[in-house]
């Protein structure tokens, strides 16, 4: 994995590439993700299996030579060619069932695709948050370096104490530790995104979140989710497929038919004829209808359960979104950055001691970091709310 990271960084450094948006990254993931490619092939294989279920039986050919004592060579023979098939109405029932089964398979693929793209989008949002944290740490490091140079000079001149210099050095160590942790988290998120993209390099260096539509009407959001949620659509398709399969099994008592051609030959004559027959599923059909009925009930209950959970999640996420939005509005980011600038000017001018500066500045930095994390939480919640638009 490390060589892929190195290759990606080398490509970014050598080849000028256009910065990509989150949507650009998601399109690449959809194209390159191995799990999604495997799911597409599995879906195709399953759909072909469904189609094969409605094929005719293989024709049968039998040839029997007969030998009689006292006669040289074959005395007579029999050729039988037969073709078996189900009762005609079964093919129509299975065709309808097959269409719904294939729809359910497509719905399953869409649900897997949605979940993979949501995972990739959340990693992109984490990368944005980590870059914002790093920018804040860079600002803290720059201020600490400037103050350290200033107060070391003042220490030499006798205008500052060693405790103030040591406090600044402690701040630098703290920033370096947090920078290392942030860098590690950034690398982990990047590795996860590379894995989702099939370990193919990409360019994503955004440090701000894209603009998005914020739902203001819970009822409108509810209607959209209930009409487009991939898991709900898959569960509903599974229920309808089970109901169609029940209709197929209700006709399984019908006899299987068989038609054919027979030719008998002997030394002095030949005869031709037709073969017509059938078999009645007196034993093979036992309890199949009850099994199919139970499966249909189970699938419908699963669809109802999925709908109830989706309804609950819509309301809870809308309420959580409103709470997070109110919490974000309580932060005045511009004021906090202005306050930091004023504190920095005051300590440089000697109006504040270093201890007083960091007492106030640490509180501001904590609030800024809390806002960054809160905004990331809000963005992830919005991604979850609108995941069916991916």
Domains and CATH numbers, the chain: 37-129+210-389 (1.20.1600.10)
Task: Write down the pLDDT at residue 64.
Answer: 87
pTM: 0.85
Task: Write down the pLDDT at residue 63.
Answer: 86
Task: Write down the pLDDT at residue 58.
Answer: 82
The CA distance from 320 to 218, in Å, is 12
The CA distance from 387 to 232, in Å, is 13
Q: Is 381 helix (H, G, I), strand (E, B) or coil?
A: helix
For 212-269, how does the pLDDT look when each residue is reduced to its tens digit (9 = 90+)? 888 888 899 999 999 999 999 999 999 999 999 888 888 877 888 888 888 888 877 8
pLDDT at 74 over 80: no
Indicate the average pLDDT of the chain.
87
β-pair partners for 270: 265
The CA distance from 264 to 61, in Å, is 14
Question: Sheet harboring 256-266: ordered strands across?
Answer: 60-66, 76-85, 256-266, 270-279
Name the burial class of residue 46, with classes exposed (0-12), middle (13-18) and buried (19+) by CB atoms within 10 angstroms of its CB.
middle
For 305-345, how does the pLDDT look when each residue is reduced to its tens digit (9 = 90+)? 999 999 999 999 999 999 999 999 999 999 999 999 999 88
For 266-314, how does the pLDDT look when each residue is reduced to its tens digit (9 = 90+)? 877 888 888 888 777 766 677 888 888 999 999 999 999 999 999 999 9
Q: Could you tell me if 233 and 246 are in contact, meaning their C-beta atoms sit under 8 angstroms apart?
A: no
Residues counted in the chain: 390
Q: Is the pLDDT higher at 350 or at 128?
A: 128
Q: Could you tell me if 173 and 95 are in contact, meaning their C-beta atoms sit under 8 angstroms apart?
A: no
Task: Write down the pLDDT at residue 5.
Answer: 42
Task: Write down the pLDDT at residue 111.
Answer: 95
């Amino acid at each position: 994995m490390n060589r892929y990271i190195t290759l990606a960084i080398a490509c970014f450094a050598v080849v000028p590439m256009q910065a990509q948006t989150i949507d650009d990254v998601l399109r690449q993931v959809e194209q390159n993700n191995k799990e999604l490619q495997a799911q597409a092939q599995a879906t195709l294989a399953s759909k072909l299996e469904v189609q094969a279920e409605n094929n005719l039986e293989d024709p049968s050919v039998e040839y029997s030579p007969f030998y009689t004592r006292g006669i040289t060579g074959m005395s007579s023979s029999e050729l039988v060619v037969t073709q078996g098939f189900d009762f005609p109405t079964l093919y129509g029932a299975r065709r309808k069932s097959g269409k719904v089964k294939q729809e359910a398979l497509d719905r399953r693929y869409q649900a897997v695709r949605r979940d993979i793209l949501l995972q990739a989008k959340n990693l992109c949002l984490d990368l944005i948050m980590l870059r914002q944290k790093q920018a804040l740490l860079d600002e803290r490091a720059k201020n600490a370096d400037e103050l350290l140079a200033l107060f070391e000079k003042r220490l030499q001149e006798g205008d500052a104490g060693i405790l103030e210099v040591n406090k600044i050095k402690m701040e630098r160590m703290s920033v370096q530790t947090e920078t290392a942790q942030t860098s590690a988290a950034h690398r982990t998120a990047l590795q996860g995104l590379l894995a989702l993209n099939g370990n193919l390099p990409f360019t994503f260096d955004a440090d701000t979140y894209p603009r998005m539509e914020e739902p203001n009407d819970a009822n409108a959001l509810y209607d959209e989710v209930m009409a487009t949620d991939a898991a709900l659509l898959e569960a509903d398709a599974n229920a309808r497929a089970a109901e169609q399969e029940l209709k197929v099994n209700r006709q399984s008592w019908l006899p299987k038919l068989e038609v054919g051609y027979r030719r008998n030959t002997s030394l002095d004559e030949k005869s031709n004829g037709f073969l017509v027959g059938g078999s009645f599923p007196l034993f093979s059909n036992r309890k199949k209808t009850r099994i199919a009925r139970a499966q249909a009930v189970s699938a419908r209950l699963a669809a109802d359960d999925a709908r109830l959970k989706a309804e609950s999640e819509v309301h809870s996420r809308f309420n959580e979104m409103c709470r997070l939005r109110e919490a974000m509005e309580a932060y005045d980011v511009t004021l906090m950055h202005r306050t930091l600038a004023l504190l920095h000017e005051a300590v440089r001018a000697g109006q504040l001691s270093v201890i007083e500066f960091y007492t106030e500045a640490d509180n501001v930095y904590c609030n800024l970091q809390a806002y960054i994390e809160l905004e990331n939480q809000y963005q992830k919640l919005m991604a979850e709310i609108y995941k069916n638009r991916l």
